[in-house]
Structure 1
Amino acid sequence: MRDVALAPTIAPPLTGGLADSVFDTAERDPTRPVLAHRTDPAATVWRQMTALELRDEVVDLAKGLVAAGISPGRRVALMSRTRHEWTVLSLALWCVGAEVVPIHPASSREQAEWILRDADCVAVVVEDEQAVMTVGTVCAALPRLRHVWQLDAGALPELARQGTVVPYTTVESLRRLVLPDATAAIVYTSGTSGRPQGCALSHRGLAYPCDTLLAGWAHAAAPPGEQPSVLAFLPFSHVYGIMIMLMCVRGGALMAHEPEPTEATLASALRTFRPTYLYGVPSVFERLYKKFLRTAQQAGRGALFERAAQTARDFAAAEERRRLGSGPGPGFDLRLQHALYERTVYRRLRAALGGRVLRGTSGGSSLSRELTLFYEGIGVVINDGYGLTESCGGITMQPLGREKSGTVGRPLPGTVVQVADDGEILVHGPSVFQGYTGDESASRAVLRGGWLATGDIGQVDSEGYLTITGRKKDIIVTSGGTSVAPAPLEQRLRMHPLVHQAVVLGDDRPCVGALITLDPEFLAHWRAALALQGDSPARETREENALREEIARAVASANSAVSRAESIRVYRVLPEPFAAGNGLLTPSLKLRRDAIVRHHAAEIDAMYQARSRAGRGPAEPADRDDPDDVFR
């Protein structure tokens, strides 16, 4: 095995619970704005809450929780979108030593019941009547569930009112009894195959990567002398969202909540809140890029945008070579071109992000090198990091001033990463989880002598940078014995603006294949821009032929990064996207590969049979002119 480690941690050790920082900040800087939210997605003004106001609201809610019988060690589920109440409630629960159990608000009745039962929750907080109905149908089967609190029905003010009989000293005593190694949250995995498992995460485990990142990276999150600000829009039901929330609370950043991250509301929130730091998953940054391109094309400036985007990537790549010591940096002509596009293109793109974003983080899966270079080239450095639920989030991060696109950076100080002989990534450090609730055998399977077996495969270069190549269980082995990691191919397919989703498959098949869905908004724009003339049937035929050519180009681009044996030889475009509603995506929008293969078994069989009927060999390309080979 190969070890990769950085210097010992510089973050101070945790001495209490996660809620302590709320009280510390309120005492040290009571008027500091720490939370912001807006009641109307169309509003341009954000209501801010100071550190003192946050502490008082947390205390009032904590008193209400005590009055309701929530005691240390009890588990309370939060089934809500990313909103102000989620943050305040979680802090109040940690104040009294209770454990938070996040549930994605879009979870089905069966998913909610499983988590509430598996975690043995005594209460659940939901948003609206629809969620009350979802939970209400399973209450009879959950005798331990005593409370269902609805946010939109005034549950929090009512809890605070009930808590007026509880003295402040009771909350203070309970808070001081919380130890760093006590369980803070039971966070469920995505459940890409089988039922999700509850990961027991301690106060220390959750605090460690946050405090380490704050100690080493926080100064780069805003211009000197300014307070960092972060727009929270990803679900708090997953560890990535919780980690961002805790970093803001513990680091004193101003955090705004956006519960409905549609393209329109997210664009509005970015323009009006104007964060200094942007975080998201790769699909968010892909969507932003496609929106930039679509907007430019609609304004008749598509060619200009594409030239500017390529210049941004070239400039960032040259800067990367310079900072890594392998090149002199951008030449005179490239600097001149970059300066021209800075005045005409890049500053407008940054304005669409609010105009103040300096840096950002992408997590959940790897961000393509091309996109990383694009964002750096327009003046927004996006750091690709790595973590998982079982590690309380962060494992690696890009070192400041030594960022390397296409990798997920180096291990955080105090965390050690090993790459096993079979390519699996193993992790050791203070953030490794306590185990799966109620499943000792599964815990033993992934916790090997203190090392967490992540299930991810990757490699480490000579400078200690980690690259993730895929999930161990997702590796495809064709009938010819070729092993293929699907993630890089899928990532490159999604870079084409028309491609929304892609699933690469081929286990026990003669070659690698793919299922593709199209981006509906970009498809509509593309059809309008095509503006073909003639009668309807002929026009539609030419349009479909043009679309096949575009998808063929996307596949060819993806194939250019792999060997011929690993390349996609057959594919089919599906009429509907994979969605959480049809069970093909997890609530965190990860592909349920097994479910997708089962759901589209007929299409997959037809795709390969069509290839077989054509008499193609394993390495020969599919016939792109046969609509039955490509479109369902």
Structure 2
Amino acid sequence: MSPPVTEAQQASGTTVPITVEDYQGAPAYFAPARFELAEDENCLSAIRALAKASPHLVLFNRPANYEWINVTAREFVEEVDEVARGLVAQGVKPGDRVILISGTRYEWTLMDFAIWAAGGVVVPIYPSSSASQVQWIVEDSGAVLAVTETREHTDLLEHLVLQSDGTPQLSGSPSQLRRVFEINSAGVDTLRFEGRGVEEEEITRRGENLRQDDIASINYTSGTTGKPKGCMLTHYNWIFEVRAILNDGIGALGRPGTRIVTYLPLAHVLSRAVSLAVAIAGCTQAHWSDTSTLTTALERFRPQLVLGVPRVYEKVRAGAYRKAADGGPIKEALFKRAEATAIEYSKALDNPDGPSKLLQARHRVYDRLVYKKLRAVFGGQVEVAITGGSAMSSEVSHFFRGLGVPVYEGYGLTETTAACAIGFEHQVVGSVGQPMNGFGARINDAGEICITGGGVFTGYWNNEKATSEELIDGWFTTGDLGEISETGHIKITGRKKDLIVTAGGKNISPGPMEEIIREHPLVSQALMVGDGKPFPAVLVTLDEEQLTRWKLDRNIPASRSIAELATDRALQGEIQDAINLANSTVSRAEQIKKFRILDRDLTEEDNELTPTMKVKRNVVFERFAEDIDKIYTR
């Protein structure tokens, strides 16, 4: 029986049965699980059960021989078993770690299940990882085999492969890597061929012997503050997360016939969790790795479910504005009015009376003129969009909800096997939702959000010290600062490690102010500085496409560099406007006093951004130390 709904929940309109319990004198908020797991249930057994019950269900649409073909549930499981036999033939034993470094493609998901079917542990690596990051993960995990996508990836690993005498080629390396299979060089077919001599019964036996407390994967954190740590995620963690997703409100889309384009890196737990969930639910999934042509994929597959980091939605909005502005002042003015109406309409949805009749009429007009075209960017069939990985601007959230593509913000970490909170069943813009079913949340004495539940990891690989520091009595200390309302809605206010303490002793959480500044079309990144300094300041990078248009509108030569423009009064005025808006939300002591425009944007290639677009603050601050010094010496 579900627990009673509180008065606060009734007032807010939420249907999530959040329970509140006392934990060491402070409230803890729990959402009871709406599902039960069998003792032998895991993601592999779930996909096998689906294939047995609905063998002809189309799970994947994949490229082959210059066309796209369907892959049924039975065909997928048969291929998984063939590849798994190849892994066994290569000597992979239960518990052995296998590296998987590849872009988002069908073979990634195939290898994921095949490694599990062989009894192995998947160790995903982002395809954009540097050589030092790859080496660290290979050596730290003790992986015995690797599956890569490209020659470039293979080259990163070759010097770590053991020589014929069993010693590492790289002197002093503890690598245990024996062989590399490259997808683009028929690596999957090679595994299938080499597995012909392995009995099917061996794969069946290994699958049946999987236990829920066995490690399923070691996912390394993005390493924004140091070396990546390997999160041990069990088979229980993964199937719990999948069932939690499918039994939450958003799980209504988890049904045969639903289409989804998976394009985010599958090394990221959120992308992988959603991909696993929709596969096990019987949805039809297409993989796409080239984000520069994502709109082509969306138009082709017309998905009902879209998953993206906030930057994706921000770029869609910015691109729509640029297109309108390029059409002349009338179209630009039309877009701005339509955008303002969408935001106003969305905000009115949160009021008891809802949008006024006049606002509804305006909204219908702009729906025909503008919103319908914007929805077409996503394929025209999107019912639900999800975002996670970092904070999303409230204005952007309202904009998309107002135009008919509600973007539901979720919250989770590698250590929680992706989502542990989501705002689907009662969206409150500005929060990351309530605990997802089967999870609990609380705020500790340091103001940090702590999470418990079936998705919480078992600890860090080869790092007991970090495990004991961050996993206490089943609660994971996230390092994110936040608040939880009476209805269980979680609001992120910053990162504990990002906290700025000025020379005057003022504590400032930079996240909310940076988010406001980034809303300005010209701004790509904004990083507040001021730790130990007399006042807060901010480093700003510019969006190249918006800057090109800005120069064109003012007859400024396209060749004029950012360094040359940094002192331009008009440009500085634009940035100051954004900072003034952020300053209006805080006390005088917290306000940004100065800013500096950096001469280029931050990139993942320069190790300044993680693959999920989080800023590596320590790297940026070290790299642009001279720019920071100039703020405080002039």
Partner of 2:291: 261
1:387 is paired with a residue whose SS is strand
User: Unaligned stretches of 5+ in structure 2?
Assistant: 1-25, 162-168
Alignment of 1:131-150 (within 5 A): 131-139=153-161, 140=169, 141-150=173-182
1:164 is paired with a residue whose SS is coil
Aligned partner of 1:570 among 594, 597, 608: 594
Matched, 1:329 2:354: yes
Alignment of 1:77-476 (within 5 A): 77-139=99-161, 140=169, 141-218=173-250, 220-221=252-253, 227-262=257-292, 265-300=293-328, 301-321=331-351, 327-400=352-425, 402-476=426-500
Matched, 1:60 2:82: yes
Give a deviation string over 1:32-79, Cα, whole Å, max 9, x none. 111123479xx8x64321111111111111111111111110000101
CA contact (8 A) 1:37 1:258 kept: no
Partner of 2:6: none
Change (3 A) 1:480 1:46: farther
Shift, 1:457, TM fit: 0.9
Distance 2:150 2:192 in 1: 19
Aligned partner of 1:582 among 606, 614, 628: 606
2:291 is paired with a residue whose SS is coil
Change (3 A) 1:13 1:471: farther
Distance 1:296 1:137 in 2: 51
Shifted more, 7-16 versus 476-485: the winner is 7-16
1:568 is paired with a residue whose SS is coil
Distance 1:541 1:92 in 2: 54
Change (3 A) 1:11 1:550: farther
Distance 1:560 1:244 in 2: 38
Indicate the percent of aligned positions where both proteins have the same amino acid: 35
CA contact (8 A) 1:391 1:433 kept: yes
Letter in 1 for 2:235: H
Distance 1:212 1:389 in 2: 16
Matched, 1:7 2:32: yes
CA contact (8 A) 2:566 2:597 kept: no
Distance 2:439 2:37 in 1: 15
Give a deviation string over 1:497-521, Cα, whole Å, max 9, x none. 1111111111011111111111111
User: Unaligned stretches of 5+ in structure 1?
Assistant: 322-326, 611-632
Distance 1:309 1:12 in 2: 45
Distance 1:604 1:2 in 2: 41
Distance 1:48 1:525 in 2: 43
Shift, 1:80, TM fit: 0.7
Matched, 1:520 2:550: no
Shift, 1:108, TM fit: 1.5
Shift, 1:143, TM fit: 4.6
CA contact (8 A) 1:11 1:215 kept: no
Shifted more, 5-14 versus 484-493: the winner is 5-14
Aligned partner of 2:527 among 486, 503, 508: 503
Distance 1:249 1:241 in 2: 12
Letter in 2 for 1:510: P
CA contact (8 A) 1:37 1:46 kept: yes
Distance 2:340 2:583 in 1: 20
1:588 is paired with a residue whose SS is coil
Distance 1:46 1:541 in 2: 48
Letter in 2 for 1:213: I
Letter in 2 for 1:231: V
Distance 2:610 2:155 in 1: 21
CA contact (8 A) 1:21 1:249 kept: no
Letter in 1 for 2:342: A
Distance 1:63 1:442 in 2: 36
Distance 2:438 2:612 in 1: 28
Change (3 A) 1:550 1:39: farther
Partner of 1:481: 505
Change (3 A) 1:38 1:378: farther
Letter in 2 for 1:184: A
Shift, 1:219, TM fit: 5.0
CA contact (8 A) 1:80 1:86 kept: yes
TM-score w.r.t. structure 1 length? 0.90
Alignment of 1:613-628 (within 5 A): none
Letter in 1 for 2:153: A
1:165 is paired with a residue whose SS is coil
Letter in 1 for 2:284: L
Letter in 2 for 1:157: D
Letter in 1 for 2:75: E
Distance 2:632 2:383 in 1: 47
Distance 1:407 1:173 in 2: 46
CA contact (8 A) 2:256 2:281 kept: no
CA contact (8 A) 1:584 1:592 kept: yes
Change (3 A) 1:453 1:532: closer
Shift, 1:452, TM fit: 0.9
Give a deviation string over 1:283-337, Cα, whole Å, max 9, x none. 111111111111111122121111111111111111122xxxxx21000110000
Distance 1:508 1:557 in 2: 24
Change (3 A) 1:37 1:511: farther
TM-score w.r.t. structure 2 length? 0.90
1:302 is paired with a residue whose SS is helix
Distance 1:112 1:165 in 2: 32
Change (3 A) 1:318 1:33: same
CA contact (8 A) 2:390 2:614 kept: no
CA contact (8 A) 2:33 2:244 kept: no
Shift, 1:542, TM fit: 12
2:505 is paired with a residue whose SS is coil
CA contact (8 A) 2:31 2:438 kept: yes
Change (3 A) 1:133 1:7: closer
CA contact (8 A) 2:160 2:175 kept: no
1:384 is paired with a residue whose SS is strand
Give a deviation string over 1:461-508, Cα, whole Å, max 9, x none. 122110011111111111112111111111111111111111111101
Matched, 1:596 2:620: yes
CA contact (8 A) 2:392 2:409 kept: yes
CA contact (8 A) 1:230 1:253 kept: yes
Letter in 2 for 1:240: L
1:581 is paired with a residue whose SS is coil
